[in-house]
Structure 1
Amino acid sequence: MRPRLKPLAALVLLGLQGCSMAPGYTTPALELPAHYREQTSTGPWHSAQPNDQLAAQWWTLYHDATLDHLQQQLLQANPDLAAALAHFDAAQAYASQLHAGLFPQINASAQPLRQRQSDSRPLRGTTQPSVYNSNTAGFSLSYDLDLWGRIRNQVATGDAQAQASGDDLAVARLSLQRQLAILYVQLNGLDAQARILNSSLEDFSQALQLTRSRYEGQIASELDLTRAQNQLFEARAQLDDVRGQRNLIEHALAELIGVAASDFTLAPTAQLIALPAIPSQLPSQLLQRRPDIAAAERRVFAANANIGVAKAAWYPDFSLTGLIGGQTQGVGNLLSAGNRYWALGPLVNLPILDGGRLSANERQAKAEFEEASAQYRSQVLKAVREVEDNLAQLRDLQQQAQDEQAAADAAQHTQSLAMNSYQAGAVSYLDVVTAQTEALQAQRTLQAVQTRQLQASVGLITALGGGWQPGA
């Protein structure tokens, strides 16, 4: 090469190092709704104030110390979360491995040998010894020029996959926190059911005593007595069922916080958790910070970079190799001029005939990009649906709770009227049993609706990625 062309060739090589065969990347287009269909400016839930914010620990919005403690235990000891964290660490380590390809690779080697050569070795000289020493030490260098961006796109893919793995960790954490919160709300609701049943048992016991006294005084019939007994025992059976359900939830909570179910108990809660304030208007852009959506977007980016890797494989791969070291036959200085060896030169690798492998790799990379893009769009649509579902649940359950409250109040009043009328001899005990049963059922139904409201609020918060503040 002529001397004046060498600088030009170097500039060309440097320019090529900035090339990338990956297509220009843009996040798959998907228009988000301007507002949610199930949301109204005058929603039936409590409107949050402008200064209301959700910290990373979103469950503190429920102001329950036990729930907060359980969530902290989950973060520290849940085995599924530990596995997700280990997977994230592995993804980061793999990305670091890919980064190493951007830099020259230098290796050192040493080989002190004592060896014997065959007497029948071809072209062996008569003066050559049969047994001799051979000492070799040296350094080797290799550097891929990456003119077409193959390594850089591999690095970009690894980084994006590591980021997606970090988002997967956040998805796992949020999902486990959601499971724990919903289970705890359900347990809190069962404790409220137990309180309702215990209160009813006291009323039913008193009613049974009254009926037995009236029966013994031949005022009430045996039918009235057996109805009162049936009502009491049925309420006890319902309480037994509530306790059984509570035990199962305790076991599930123990598993979530990494504790053996045999060693875990949770004292009954004293009161129902209050429904938190929820904004009456939620921008759909909040969905963009959901970790599952972020993970899906990073995988689209990684798939796009993989197209660049597949395209770069069609072009010549240029690398520089070098060797330097020394070799002796057991005596002499390895570093002396006469014992040194070295080699330096480029290496070019160009595919000629591969049976269609490179073409198939490129088609695969493009198909994987289309798959990742479709999965991203699917994840966004799923997120919108989850928010709509929980908004609808909150709105409808609020109206249902109001109606159930009115029904419970009316049933309680009917129960009092029926008992007073029975004591006055104006109605049969069947009227009392019917009124008491309806009052108990109305109270339990109201409480069940309140529990579902709380669970829907947990679902809405987690559907938005952990709250409704854009910077949360």
Structure 2
Amino acid sequence: MRRALFGILLSLILAAGCVKIPTDEACCKMMPTPCLEYTTQTALEDNNFYEGDFPDGDWWEMFEDPQLSHLICTALSCNPTMQMVKARVEGAEAAAKIKKSHLFPTIGFSADLDWQYLGKNDFFRAFTPVVPGNISEYEIDLDFTYEFDFWSKNRNTYRAALGIAKAMEAERQNAILVLSSSVAVVYFKLQANLQKLVVLKEERKILTKLFQLTQMRQNNALDNTSQRLDAEEQLFIINKNILMAKQKIELIKNMLNLLIGQGPDAYEEVEKLVSAPRFDFPLPTNISSNLLGRRPDLMAYIWRVESGAYLVGAAKAEFYPRVDLYGLAGLDSVFFSKLFRWESRTASLKPAIHLPIFTAGRLKANLREKQAEFDELIYAYNDAVLRAVKEVSDQVITLKITSEKLQVEERIVANKIQNRKIMALRYKNAVSNLLELLETQDAVLQQEFMKIKVQYKRVLAAIQLIKALGGGYCTEEMPFD
């Protein structure tokens, strides 16, 4: 009868004694990837794009530059940031294993020796004089504890930690993409500035001849002092530009050394000047449907969203009773010689139920906090999706326009070269003078300088588009599957 009453009382406590779970749920939803069909189709109508697939994992090989490939491989293996991110991933995976251990019983072993000296007036010896003054108690135990995960609190906590570990891995892949694209950008920036320096030095030769010619013309009363000063000023300006170009090259080298994880003096000289590569860009037609699985930064966001959802579930489980089981089995004796006898065995089993009856609002506040964090993660993911789509669209447009600009610059350079040939022929036939020929040659170099700038911008747009398309990252494992 007493057991029946105890069971009924326990059932009533379990049914009504727990704190009530709030019913308000998060209302925000994850945004689908916006459509990019118009941007893609418009770009494919241009001659600089063709229908293809997403970039490969070693996307830098498309530039066919061994120097670039060597620098990127060095950066991926030696850059401290990559090593730091790798350590962070390992830490997150270890944290997930810690959470997973809570799903299993904990078993421990202990061996104790308790020695006591009892005085003659001690409570036990005063009434029982036969009790010896020196007492030793030997104890060997195996104990275990286990929390029954009826409400999936521990499972949700483990899944949340596992989601964080997978988000960290996606962020590591994103760090690889950022680092490799940064090395490529800095490398081609270095190449562009080296080419600019060559053009500036050639222009200095021409301006030096112009200055010398102007001096001769002034001495022969063909030009005035103002014209000579203008020519000299142009020579000063080109010398200043050369110094600035050299400074910029050295600073770019330092940046490249930093990216590849080397000191400033460890830079390997570029073996040869490489012209900016010119190629048509492969553009996938299914960007919207596959962008999520191709962008490591988006996958990191969505793994964190999944982790936040599991943490909300774990917070809800806190409102329900927690059922634990504690057990112990071992040997206990005051005589070491009798410790391993069957009569020295001891055991205990202790089930326990913990009910959150009154927590001063702690559980409700904790649930609201987890729901707010979950909402924040969804909003962050939605913002990242919009930014990712905008980034793809921006880089497609930039690559398209810079390709058209480059075509215009190439036509202008071709016209300037043709004009230089005509002027050289006129000078040879004494129709034009040397001053006009030198000015025409200088105009060609200035236009070559402008073309180098546009070439670099086109390569930069191509690299940024590769980065926007995920840089070869691909995963088939999706959250919430």
TM range (shorter): 0.7 to 0.9
- In structure 1, give the amino acid aligned to 2:85: A
Report the counterpart of residue 14 of structure 2 in structure 1: none
Residue 121 of structure 1: how far off its partner (Å): 5.0
Indicate the SS of the match to 2:48.
coil
Q: Does the aligned pair in 2 maintain the 1:39–1:280 contact within 8 Å?
A: no
Shift in alpha-carbon separation, 1:375–1:73, aligned structure 2, 3 A: same
Report the counterpart of residue 450 of structure 1 in structure 2: 455
Shift in alpha-carbon separation, 1:408–1:466, aligned structure 2, 3 A: same
Which residues in structure 2 correspond to 1:19-168 (within 5 Å)?
Answer: 28-37=30-39, 40-48=42-50, 50=52, 54-117=55-118, 122=123, 125-127=127-129, 128-168=131-171
TM-score w.r.t. length of structure 2:
0.84
Which residues in structure 2 correspond to 1:7-406 (within 5 Å)?
Answer: 28-37=30-39, 40-48=42-50, 50=52, 54-117=55-118, 122=123, 125-127=127-129, 128-212=131-215, 223-267=226-270, 269-282=272-285, 283-288=287-292, 289-406=294-411
Residue 155 of structure 1: how far off its partner (Å): 1.1
Indicate the SS of the match to 2:397.
helix
CA RMSD between the two structures: 3.3
Report the counterpart of residue 5 of structure 1 in structure 2: none
Q: Does the aligned pair in 1 maintain the 2:206–2:442 contact within 8 Å?
A: no
Report the counterpart of residue 13 of structure 2 in structure 1: none
Report the counterpart of residue 19 of structure 2 in structure 1: none
The answer to which of 433-442 and 185-194 deviates more is: 433-442
Residue 365 of structure 1: how far off its partner (Å): 1.2
Residue 86 of structure 1: how far off its partner (Å): 0.2
Shift in alpha-carbon separation, 1:286–1:339, aligned structure 2, 3 A: same
Matches of 2:208 and 2:258, distance apart in 1: 38
Q: Does the aligned pair in 2 maintain the 1:43–1:280 contact within 8 Å?
A: no
Q: Does the aligned pair in 2 maintain the 1:54–1:61 contact within 8 Å?
A: no
Indicate the SS of the match to 1:40.
helix
Shift in alpha-carbon separation, 1:42–1:153, aligned structure 2, 3 A: closer
Q: Does the aligned pair in 2 maintain the 1:215–1:221 contact within 8 Å?
A: yes
Question: What does the per-residue CA deviation read over 1:2-42, in whole Å, with 9 as the maximum and x for residues that have no partner?
Answer: 9xxxxxxxxxxxxxxxxxx9x99x98242420415375154
Question: What does the per-residue CA deviation read over 1:112-146, in whole Å, with 9 as the maximum and x for residues that have no partner?
Answer: 23232466655554333332212111100112210
- In structure 1, give the amino acid aligned to 2:307: A
Q: Does the aligned pair in 1 maintain the 2:402–2:457 contact within 8 Å?
A: yes
Aligned residues: 452
Shift in alpha-carbon separation, 1:323–1:287, aligned structure 2, 3 A: same
Indicate the SS of the match to 1:352.
coil
Matches of 1:360 and 1:404, distance apart in 2: 64
Indicate the SS of the match to 2:49.
coil
Residue 228 of structure 1: how far off its partner (Å): 3.9
Matches of 1:413 and 1:214, distance apart in 2: 28
Indicate the SS of the match to 1:398.
helix
Matches of 1:433 and 1:389, distance apart in 2: 41
Residue 48 of structure 1: how far off its partner (Å): 4.3
The answer to which of 32-41 and 211-220 deviates more is: 211-220
Indicate the SS of the match to 1:279.
strand
Q: Does the aligned pair in 2 maintain the 1:94–1:158 contact within 8 Å?
A: yes
Matches of 1:184 and 1:43, distance apart in 2: 31
Question: What does the per-residue CA deviation read over 1:292-351, in whole Å, with 9 as the maximum and x for residues that have no partner?
Answer: 100100111111111111111111111222100111224333232321110123221111
Q: Does the aligned pair in 1 maintain the 2:167–2:299 contact within 8 Å?
A: yes
Shift in alpha-carbon separation, 1:68–1:36, aligned structure 2, 3 A: farther
TM-score w.r.t. length of structure 1:
0.85
Question: What does the per-residue CA deviation read over 1:74-133, in whole Å, with 9 as the maximum and x for residues that have no partner?
Answer: 111100110000000000001111111111211000112323246665555433333221
- In structure 2, give the amino acid aligned to 1:446: K
Residue 172 of structure 1: how far off its partner (Å): 1.3
- In structure 1, give the amino acid aligned to 2:96: A
Q: Does the aligned pair in 2 maintain the 1:286–1:469 contact within 8 Å?
A: no
Shift in alpha-carbon separation, 1:66–1:456, aligned structure 2, 3 A: same
Shift in alpha-carbon separation, 1:421–1:209, aligned structure 2, 3 A: farther
Shift in alpha-carbon separation, 1:355–1:122, aligned structure 2, 3 A: farther
Indicate the SS of the match to 1:273.
coil
Q: Does the aligned pair in 2 maintain the 1:164–1:298 contact within 8 Å?
A: yes
Matches of 2:453 and 2:36, distance apart in 1: 33
Matches of 1:332 and 1:469, distance apart in 2: 67
Q: Percent of counterpart pairs with the same letter?
A: 26
Matches of 2:288 and 2:106, distance apart in 1: 49
Indicate the SS of the match to 1:446.
helix
Residue 218 of structure 1: how far off its partner (Å): 5.7
Shift in alpha-carbon separation, 1:117–1:30, aligned structure 2, 3 A: farther
Indicate the SS of the match to 1:113.
strand
- In structure 2, give the amino acid aligned to 1:367: A
Shift in alpha-carbon separation, 1:167–1:94, aligned structure 2, 3 A: same
- In structure 2, give the amino acid aligned to 1:149: S
Q: Does the aligned pair in 1 maintain the 2:44–2:51 contact within 8 Å?
A: no
Shift in alpha-carbon separation, 1:351–1:42, aligned structure 2, 3 A: closer
Q: Does the aligned pair in 2 maintain the 1:394–1:456 contact within 8 Å?
A: yes
Residue 191 of structure 1: how far off its partner (Å): 1.5
